[in-house]
Amino acid sequence: MPRLETRDLTLRIGNRLLLHDLSVAFEGGQNWAILGANGSGKTTLLQTLAGLRRADSGSVLLDGEAMQHIPRRLRAQKLGILFQDTPNAFPASVFETVLSGRHPHLGFWQSETASDREAARAALAAVELAEFADRSVATLSGGERRRVEVAALLAQDAPLSLLDEPVNHLDPRYQTAILGLVCARRLRPGHLNLLVLHDVNLAQRFCSHGLLLLGDGSARHGPLADILDTAILEKIYHCRMREIRSDAERLFFPD
Amino acid sequence: MKAGTGLRLALIGLVPLSFVFALATGSVTLDAATLWQVLTGIEHGLPATLVLDLRLPRAVSAFSVGGLLALAGCLLQALLRNPLADPYILGISGGAAVAALGALLLGAGSGWISGSAFLGSMVAMLLVFGLSHGRGAWSETRLLLTGVVVATGCGALVSLMLALSPQASLSTMLFWLLGDLGQNNSPGWGLAVLTAGLLLAVPFARTLNLYARGEQVAAALGENIALLRYGIYFLASLLTATAVTLAGSVGFVGLVVPHLLRLLGSTDHRRLLPDAVLLGGSLLVVADTLARTVLAPAQLPVGVLTALLGVPVFLLLLARAARGTG
C-alpha cells in the first residue's frame, strides 16, 4: 500500500483548473520533486496533500485512509509540512521555535520531556545552528530562519515530509546540505519526501521521482530520469531550455 | 529557564507589595504595625473599617481588572497575530461605553450602568463576530478591520452623547470612559472570572505558541484552528467585557503588559499568561492607589495613571532591548 496517494484529485482556485483527475501513488523510500511554473498549483497541491485544504473532487489517502477521516494529531505525527513562508509576529527563541515541532507528540496536559528537548537540540545541530539556540528568531538572517524552520520539521520527526521550496533564501552550500539532510531520511523505513523545487538540476540530484504540473490541469509523473527532457521543461516553464551533458549527467538551464 | 523563574518570583513578590501599598495608603496612612493588627483581626475600629471595607475590596477589584485586561491582551495579540492589538481593539469597550453612557443619560443607577455595559459589550462582540464571519474566508485582517470599524462607530456615538449630555453628568461620563474603580462594591466575581479565564486559557498556551507562528503552522501540527479561533475570541471578549463592566475602559494595561513581559523574556505563552495576570493586576493596584491619593481628596481616573506609570517603563525597556539586539 502506498503511504500517500491521490485518486482522481481535482484542484481549482476560483474558476481556474489547476489539476484534473490526478492519480498518483507516493511510496516509502522515494523522494519526489514537484515542478511547475509560478501559479501552476504546486503550493495548493502540497496543502491538499497535507490535509490542510479540501480537494475540489477526488481524494487523498494517507496509509490507505481518506485524509479527512484521520484525526488531526495522528496526521501531524505521520506527516509534516514546511511552508513557503512562516511569519513570526512575536519574539520567540530559536530553541522554542524548533521545540514547537514536537507538539503532535505531546498529550494535551503534557509538557515537553527531556527526549523532546534532545530531539530539538539534535535537529538544530543537524542544520548547523546549535549555538543559535537562545537567540531570538527575529535577529536571524533569512537563510538562518529557513534552517530553523527545517529544524522544526526535523524535530517533528514525521515519516512523510512535504516541503514547499525548502531552499528559499539558502546559499549554495546550505541548499545542498539541507536537501541532502532531508532527502537522506527516505532511507529510514517508510519515509518519503515531496519537495516543491524550482531548480531542475537540484531536483535531479536529490529526487528519484517527479511530478510535473503543466498548468492546464494536466500533469506528468514517474521516475525523474524518464520524464525529464527539454521539450517537457519548455512546456512547463514557457521558455527555451538548454540541455548540457557532462559525464552521465544531464543539466538543464533556461536559454 | 532560570531567568524565567526569577521573573516569576519577582512578579509573585510584586502582588503582596502592591496590596500593602494599597491598604496602607490613603486619607489616613497606616503604619505597618497597625496594618498587621488589622489583618490579623486584633485591631477593630476605624482602621479596620478603612482597610477591610473600603481599601481591600477596591484593591481586589483593581487586581482583577488589571489581570483580566492583561490576559485578554495576550489572547487577542496571539489571535490577531498583531502586536498592536489590545482588549478594546475589537469594539468591546466601545459597545460597553455606548450602553453605559446611554444608561447614564437616562439617569439610571450604578447597577443599571454596569448591567448595560456588560450587555453593550456582548452586543458588540456578537456584531463583530457575525460581520467578520459573513460569507467567505475568515481572516484575522477581516476580524481586525471589522472590530476597528465597529469601535470607531461606537466612538462616534460616545462623542455624540457627550456633546448632548447635560453639564452635570459630564464628569461621571468622562470618569467611566477613562476607567474608574470607585463605583465597585462586588469585587468577588471579577476575581472569579479572572481565575476561571486563566484556568481555561493556560492548558491551551502551548497551542497559542503555535498559533503565534501562524495559523497554518498550528493546523499542520494537528490543531483544530477554527475551534481554537472561536475559543480565543469568545474567552478574550468575555474577559474584556467583565473588566469593562467593573471599571470602565482602563487603557494601556492590556496592550503593554504582554509586550513588557515579552521584552523581559517571557515569550512562551505557558509563562506569559500567568505572568501577565500577576503584572497586570499589581500594576493596576498601584495605579489605582495613586489615582485616589495623589491629588486627594480629588480622585483621578485610573486609566490616566496606568499610562503615566507604564509608558516610561515600557519605553525604557524597549530602548534597552533595541540596544541588546542591535
Say yes or no for a CB contact (<8 Å) between A96 and B219.
no
Nearest Cα to Cα of residue A55 among A6, A15, A14:
A6
A5: which residues sit within 8 A by CB, 6+ positions away? A23, A24, A25, A26, A60, A61, A64
Other Cβ atoms less than 10 A from the Cβ of B207: the count is 23
Give the per-residue pLDDT at B135.
63
Give the per-residue pLDDT at B252.
86
pTM higher than 0.80: yes
Q: Which of A56 and B308 is assigned the larger pLDDT?
A: A56
Give the per-residue pLDDT at A248.
80
Say yes or no for a CB contact (<8 Å) between B209 and A136.
no
Q: What is the ipTM of this complex?
A: 0.91
Q: Is the pLDDT of residue A146 over 70?
A: yes
User: Which residue on chain B is closest to A162 by alpha carbon?
Assistant: B220
DSSP A136: B
Say yes or no for a CB contact (<8 Å) between A96 and B267.
yes
Domain ranges of chain B: 2-325
The whole-number average pLDDT for the span B106-135 is 84
Please state the φ and ψ torsions of residue A254, each to the nearest 5 degrees. Answer: -70, 140
Residues of B in contact with A86 (CB under 8 A): 213-214, 216-217
- Cell matching residue B56: 481591600
Instruction: Give the C-alpha separation, A192 to A163, whole Å.
Output: 11
- Average pLDDT over chain B reads 87
Say yes or no for a CB contact (<8 Å) between A92 and B209.
yes
Say yes or no for a CB contact (<8 Å) between B213 and A83.
no
Number of domains chain A contains: 1
b/e sequence B159-182, b meaning 16+ C-beta within 10 Å? eebeeeeeeeeeebbebbbbbbbe
Instruction: Give the C-alpha separation, B149 to A88, whole Å.
Output: 26
Q: Which of B320 and B268 is assigned the larger pLDDT?
A: B268
* A233 domain-assigned: yes
Measured on CA atoms in the order A225, A231, A236, A241, is the torsion positive or negative? positive
Q: Would you call B288 helix, strand, or coil by DSSP?
A: helix
Check CB contact of B221 with chain A, cutoff 8 Å: yes
At CB < 8 Å, which residues of chain A contact B? Answer: 50, 52, 72-77, 80-81, 83, 86-93, 96-97, 100-101, 103-104, 106, 108-109, 111, 136, 138-139, 156
Instruction: Give the C-alpha separation, A145 to A162, whole Å.
Output: 18
Give the per-residue pLDDT at B322.
67
Check CB contact of B136 with chain A, cutoff 8 Å: no
Nearest Cα to Cα of residue A206 among A215, A197, A217, A218:
A197
Least confident of A176-185, B48-57, B125-134, B312-321: B312-321
Q: What does the longest C-alpha to C-alpha distance in chain A come to?
A: 57
* A196 domain-assigned: yes
User: Which residue on chain B is closest to A73 by alpha carbon?
Assistant: B222
Q: The CATH number of the domain where A235 resides is what?
A: 3.40.50.300
Q: Is the pLDDT of residue A102 over 70?
A: yes
The whole-number average pLDDT for the span A59-74 is 95
Q: Is the pLDDT of residue B296 over 80?
A: no
Nearest Cα to Cα of residue B302 among B189, B175, B169:
B175
B72: which residues sit within 8 A by CB, 6+ positions away? B87, B236, B237, B239, B240, B243, B254
Instruction: Give the C-alpha separation, A61 to A8, whole Å.
Output: 11
Q: Which of A208 and B26 is assigned the larger pLDDT?
A: A208
Number of A:B CB contacts under 8 A?
75
DSSP B49: I
Measured on CA atoms in the order A127, A133, A138, A141, is the torsion positive or negative? negative
Number of helices and strands (H, E) in chain A?
9, 12
Q: How confident is the model at residue A89 (pLDDT cuts 50, 70, 90)?
A: confident
Give the per-residue pLDDT at B142.
86
Q: Please, what is the Cα angle at B312 between B308 and B316, to 5 degrees?
A: 165
User: Cell 509523473 appears where?
Assistant: A221
Instruction: Give the C-alpha separation, A62 to A71, whole Å.
Output: 12
Angle between the N-to-C axes of helices B56-80 and B205-212, in degrees from 0 to 180, rounded to the nearest 10: 40
* A135 domain-assigned: no
User: What is the extent of the structural domain holding A249?
Assistant: 4-84+159-254
Share of chain B above pLDDT 90, in %: 39
B2-325 CATH pick, 3.30.70.360, 1.10.3470.10, 3.90.870.10, 2.40.50.140: 1.10.3470.10
User: Cell 530559536 appears where?
Assistant: A94
Angle between the N-to-C axes of helices B188-201 and B269-293, in degrees from 0 to 180, rounded to the nearest 10: 160
Beta-strand pair A209-213/A65-66: unpaired
**Mutation for A interface: B80, B141, B206, B223, most A CBs within 10 A:** B206
Rounded to an integer, what is the distance from CA B225 to the centroid of its chain? 26
Q: Is the pLDDT of residue B169 over 90?
A: no
Give the per-residue pLDDT at B265.
86
A189: which residues sit within 8 A by CB, 6+ positions away? A28
* A222 domain-assigned: yes
Instruction: Give the C-alpha separation, A133 to A46, whole Å.
Output: 29
Q: How confident is the model at residue B134 (pLDDT cuts 50, 70, 90)?
A: low
Instruction: Give the C-alpha separation, B211 to A52, whole Å.
Output: 15
Residues of B in contact with A100 (CB under 8 A): 209-210, 213, 217, 221
b/e sequence B70-95, b meaning 16+ C-beta within 10 Å? bbbbbbbbbbbbbeebbbbbbbbbbb
Angle between the N-to-C axes of helices B110-133 and B140-164, in degrees from 0 to 180, rounded to the nearest 10: 140
Q: Is the pLDDT of residue B326 over 50?
A: no
First to last CA, chain B: 24
Tell whether omega for the bond before B297 is within 30 degrees of 0, i.e. cis.
yes
The whole-number average pLDDT for the span A52-68 is 95
Give the per-residue pLDDT at B300.
85
First to last CA, chain A: 42
Q: Is the pLDDT of residue A73 over 70?
A: yes
Instruction: Give the C-alpha separation, B117 to B249, whole Å.
Output: 11
CA distance B241 to chain A (A): 25
